[in-house]
Amino acid sequence: MEQKTKIIVCGAAGKMGSLIIQLALAQKDKFIVEAGIECKGHPLVGKLNQQGVPISDSLLEVISGDEVVIDFSISESAIDHLKICIDKKAPFVTGITGFSKDQFSYLKEASSHIPVFYSPNMSIGVNLFLEIIRFSAALLKEYEIEISEVHHNLKKDAPSGTAKKMADIICQVFKRDPEKVVRYGREGITGPRPFEEIGIHSLRLGDIVGEHYIYFGGKGEIIEISHRCYNREAFASGALKAASFLKNKPAGFYNMQNMIKEAIDVRVK
């Protein structure tokens, strides 16, 4: 029988954190929720949440080292939690998209000490969508490309991490420098669109969980590929799958592509 995965959820009272806890508790044969972490001064700190999980404001006080830490707090807090995970040799999973360049560099550096799983979008479906984009781009090198994304009005960063990843994939396939070709929206007299330009456009309205579109424009036709997410359960479920995937892995930097590949390899065997 497969050993249960023990988890600690940072950002436990947030939309993602609370849903991760809810789904984990519904899978008692697979997961044990040891604790939730929230910021100092949060009204739940020192109490049990609605599902009976103890909430603390200190990861250091509740971690033993045999848990997987799933972090959906904020970037500054996540880096603090990551330092504790390094000390405790605990695997770390996050899908936070607001990391600065220095913070992301530290995330990569930490992976030389512990297993770190990072994906800007934890949905299995959207990561298959990214692979479809990679495949399509290789066949559509004569087409112009635009990206758009739509999220709820409370999302803090723009463009989304997934939209940035889409642009990165295109640049990898076409061997373009993102710093030179990616353009965030347009305004004024912009002149003719350079062929190599990749436009990214962000919409924020209502309570839309997440929609991503990529357009390949050729002469006389446009190809549109899209992914729409209707609730956060797809992300929470993916985060739990990532925790199970990571728990026995050696130090390294892992992502959804690694997890999907492993799942395919196991099925093929």
* Residues ≥6 apart with Cβ < 8 Å to 168: 178
Give start and end residues of each alpha helix (H) in 208-250.
233-246
**Which one of the listed residues 81, 151, 227, 241 is annotated catalytic?**
151
Identified catalytic residue from 42, 101, 152, 155: 155
Amino acid at the residue 111: S
Rounded Cα distance, 123 and 229, in Å: 9
Distance CA 255, CA 118 (A): 5
Please list, in sequence order, all residues whose beta carbon lies within 8 angstroms of the beta carbon of residue 250, skipping any fewer than 6 positions away: 115
Tokens 């359960």 belong to: 233
151 is catalytic: yes
How many Å apart are CA 194 and CA 7, to the nearest integer? Answer: 48
Closest CA to 92 of 83, 101, 100: 83
218's tokens: 């050729």
Pairing of strands 68-71, 115-118: unpaired
Please give the sequence-ordered ranges of beta strands (E in DSSP) within the chain, or none if there are none: 5-10, 31-37, 55-56, 68-71, 92-94, 115-118, 144-151, 182-184, 198-204, 210-218, 221-229, 252-254
> Annotated catalytic, 155?
yes
198-to-39, 104, 137, 143, 182 alpha-carbon distances in Å: 38, 23, 12, 11, 5
| Catalytic positions, written as ranges | 151, 155
